[in-house]
Amino acid sequence: MGTFIQAVDGTKIYVEDIGSGQPVVMLHGWPANNNMFEYQKNRLLEEGYRYIGVDYRGYGKSDAPATGYDYTTMASDINEVIQQLKLTNVTLLGFSMGGGIALKYLLNHGESNVSKLILAGAAAPIFTQRDGYPYGMKKEEVDALIEDTKQDRPSMLKGFGEIFFAKEHPEPLLQWFHNLSVDASSHGTIQSAIALRDEDLRDGLPKISVDTLIMHGKKDQVCPFEFAEVMHKNINGSRLEVFEESGHGMFLDEREKFTETLVAYLKSGQTV
């Protein structure tokens, strides 16, 4: 069932809370919503897990306030979800921007309620290039993406979708995914793109001590594979699962492997 959690500033955050058992909190990527995990949700429910799909502020069914799209505020929103739903022994999966938000949540609010972390195609530790980090887009390229969003958001999203997957997918499936992003608020899309451009989580990686699985597409054109290598090197004890045939959207490019890897990790906690 769907429920709304009130954030610290009064923003209503929509949460799809279905099933029972161990909770799996799923954090979506920019600029979609929790429905991007439709196929994984179905499998989790079959396996007896509790699916907790969060729509960030500005996305899906959540409120879209004027402010609060930085990682600190969005991580606070996730904390309110976990606290108000009284979730423990959580597996926290963060995809793309959700990976950065998941890391920010753990760094700001602690690991006491989280037993496992999955960083899937994470836009972390940094999304844009800078000194000592030659990976990802240049800040100027994100600025151009933001300007395109201001001028013609649907066309920007179509172009973004063209580099999202490495495999061919049926047009109705691509249209479904496109529609998830069109549904987002324009200003939320812009403001969280600014957060993507500017956030730097490098110093926090060595502080992560929760059991961590990194899943990343080798052909990722949005968050290059080097992101995963940096995270794997700096998060102690982390494991890296490579998706050789996937771009950024590995949850559809290698849907069966992505879902089975997720379920196996949930069941064993140690062996993928």
The span from the CA of 267 to the CA of 272, in Å, is 9
Is 76 marked active-site? no
List, for residues 50-109, the tens digit of each pLDDT value.
999 999 999 999 999 999 999 999 999 999 999 999 999 999 999 999 999 999 999 999
Contact criterion met (CB below 8 Å) for 82 and 36: no
Among 55, 63, 77, 96, the active-site one is: 96
Query: Which tokens sit at 200?
Result: 């730097």
Query: What is the residue-averaged pLDDT of the chain?
Result: 96
Query: Which tokens sit at 36?
Result: 């991007």
> From start to end of the chain, where are the E strands?
2-6, 12-18, 23-27, 50-54, 90-95, 114-120, 211-217, 239-243
Q: Quick one: pLDDT at residue 199?
A: 97
The span from the CA of 210 to the CA of 203, in Å, is 16
Q: Quick one: pLDDT at residue 40?
A: 97
The span from the CA of 223 to the CA of 164, in Å, is 10
List, for residues 14-43, the tens digit of each pLDDT value.
999 999 999 999 999 999 999 999 999 999
Is 232 marked active-site? no
Among 192, 211, 216, 248, the active-site one is: 248
Per-residue pLDDT band for 141 (boundaries 50, 70, 90) equals: very high
Contact criterion met (CB below 8 Å) for 33 and 184: yes
Query: Which residues, at least 6 apart from 216, have a Cβ–Cβ distance to it below 8 Å?
Result: 119, 120, 121, 122, 223, 225, 227, 228, 240, 241, 242, 243, 250
Which domains does the chain show, CATH number per domain? 2-267 (3.40.50.1820)
Is 272's pLDDT higher than 70? no
Per-residue pLDDT band for 271 (boundaries 50, 70, 90) equals: very low
Identify the bridge partners of residue 120 per DSSP, sorted by sequence position.
95, 215
Q: Quick one: pLDDT at residue 268?
A: 82
The span from the CA of 221 to the CA of 213, in Å, is 21
Query: Which tokens sit at 105?
Result: 């949540």
Per-residue pLDDT band for 122 (boundaries 50, 70, 90) equals: very high
Among 220, 238, 246, 253, the active-site one is: 220
Contact criterion met (CB below 8 Å) for 46 and 111: no
Per-residue pLDDT band for 261 (boundaries 50, 70, 90) equals: very high
Q: Quick one: pLDDT at residue 1?
A: 78
Per-residue pLDDT band for 269 (boundaries 50, 70, 90) equals: low
Query: Strands 12-18, 50-54: parallel, antiparallel or unpaired by DSSP?
Result: antiparallel
Is 20 marked active-site? no
List, for residues 155-206, the tens digit of each pLDDT value.
999 999 999 999 999 999 999 999 999 999 999 999 999 999 999 999 999 9
Concatenated DSSP letters for 16-27? EEE--SSEEEEE
Is 49's pLDDT higher than 60? yes
Which strands make up the sheet holding 114-120, listed edge to edge? 2-6, 12-18, 50-54, 23-27, 90-95, 114-120, 211-217, 239-243
